[in-house]
Structure 1
């Protein structure tokens, strides 16, 4: 019986494991292998160069700018997306009029394709008659601003789009987690005379720990993965002001056809994601309560 159960378990896990190896583990190993070789050019085959591709990255100023841009992009979008998602979830979880419509409105940006979002925001950011200039001109008296054509504002403009797109998606997870909290806990806190802030800090926030950890990891991945709008709107410009690691990988691999250097860049990106995700699980995991 035990052998049959083990065989049944492996047969059930087999398809998923096969897909995981074929589309995750094998590509990572293959990318690492290709990063140790030069890019084949015509009749010249690839040759083993060791870590030369990684050494070249250390002397590449565009790589360092893309890395710093990406870190700033992640630091700006991840906390804002999570905080806004939690605030929206708390708002629409309460007994307010029209909360169903509010939920739909908050979630709508999530279902829009990123290419469509990019074209929509191209109009919003249009100098002088775009929506953003109209609002800032009315509220603050500012003149026309080239939001995505200026090095000072381009990256911030891209971050705003990412937060607008992602917050509604994360709100759904927080909303589901809030509705799973037993009402008896809030009743006990009310009997004890706890304030709303105390209830949120001592009851709601700890019970949202697993959801927050899940959202934080996904938000971090999206901070390095979500670049469609940048490719459509700025192509990494002006003067690499919005260049991120993934856009630079795309440019090196498909514009300059340097697949070996693109493979090295990919491994650097995967290493950064792995280290940050490990830090998140280590630091947040200790404060996460699953029961």
Structure 2
């Protein structure tokens, strides 16, 4: 059972983003998609998930989270397996319940992994663009136009390569600064010495 669950979580990570976006495009199809069939069970009518400014970005985010979560699950699984079983035994001897053990021991020991995942998720959120081409093309009304899609559009649709180059450098500088600040702010608080 455990191997099957791990495979189910990791399988979306192995799919190319174009394939994942096409799969979810079928789920989001108004009136025909899987999501509309599920919401119809609760009496909710068809929804144009990708065609409304209020739901388009959330729909794109759901695809990205589904696709990337298996990758980050591997790191959390490795971090959980690295926690010595002696700590659980010691906590039980001291009278700590499951919640206290999780809050006082497991979560603090997972903080280095969480920092790594946060920085990688931030970089991935800016880096992913291919699913936007399939799902929304930045629409409707620019509701799902992310920065990298905007840079691509500036460079190849409007042929402003200089502006796109400047925006790329600014995005890289901002990502580097945010990652450095995360390391400086969180690194001292999460490692036990």
| TM band (smaller chain) | over 0.9
Structure 2-normalised TM-score? 0.96
1:195, distance to aligned residue in structure 2 (A):
1.0
Return the match for 2:29 from 116, 126, 129. Answer: 126
User: Which residue number corresponds to residue 6 of structure 2?
Assistant: 103
User: Which residue number corresponds to residue 178 of structure 1?
Assistant: 80
For structure 1, the residue ranges without an aligned partner over 5 or more in a row are: 1-97
Return the match for 1:265 from 144, 167, 185. Answer: 167
Q: Supply the distance in 2 between the matched residues of 1:280 and 1:289 (Cα, whole angstroms).
A: 13
1:277, distance to aligned residue in structure 2 (A):
1.1
User: Which residue number corresponds to residue 18 of structure 2?
Assistant: 115
Return the match for 1:207 from 86, 109, 118. Answer: 109
Q: Supply the distance in 1 between the matched residues of 2:133 and 2:14 (Cα, whole angstroms).
A: 19
1:279, distance to aligned residue in structure 2 (A):
2.2
Q: Supply the distance in 1 between the matched residues of 2:181 and 2:87 (Cα, whole angstroms).
A: 31
User: Which residue number corresponds to residue 12 of structure 1?
Assistant: none
1:136, distance to aligned residue in structure 2 (A):
1.3
The answer to whether the Cα contact below 8 Å between 1:149 and 1:238 also exists between their aligned partners in 2 is yes
| SS class of match (1:153) | helix
Q: Supply the distance in 2 between the matched residues of 1:250 and 1:230 (Cα, whole angstroms).
A: 11
Structure 1-normalised TM-score? 0.64
For structure 2, the residue ranges without an aligned partner over 5 or more in a row are: none
Q: Supply the distance in 1 between the matched residues of 2:35 and 2:186 (Cα, whole angstroms).
A: 37
Q: Supply the distance in 1 between the matched residues of 2:182 and 2:137 (Cα, whole angstroms).
A: 31
1:290, distance to aligned residue in structure 2 (A):
5.3
Figure out how many residues of one structure are paired with residues of the other and give that number: 193
- RMSD of the TM alignment (CA)? 1.1
User: Which residue number corresponds to residue 287 of structure 1?
Assistant: 189
Moved over 2 A (4+): none
The answer to whether the Cα contact below 8 Å between 1:123 and 1:130 also exists between their aligned partners in 2 is yes
Equivalent residue runs for 1:230-241 within 5 Å: 230-241=132-143
User: Which residue number corresponds to residue 43 of structure 1?
Assistant: none
Q: Bigger radius of gyration, 1 or 2? A: 1
1:271, distance to aligned residue in structure 2 (A):
2.3
User: Which residue number corresponds to residue 22 of structure 1?
Assistant: none
1:212, distance to aligned residue in structure 2 (A):
1.1
1:99-128 per-position Cα deviation (integer Å, ceiling 9, x unaligned): 111011011111110000010011000011
| SS class of match (1:208) | helix
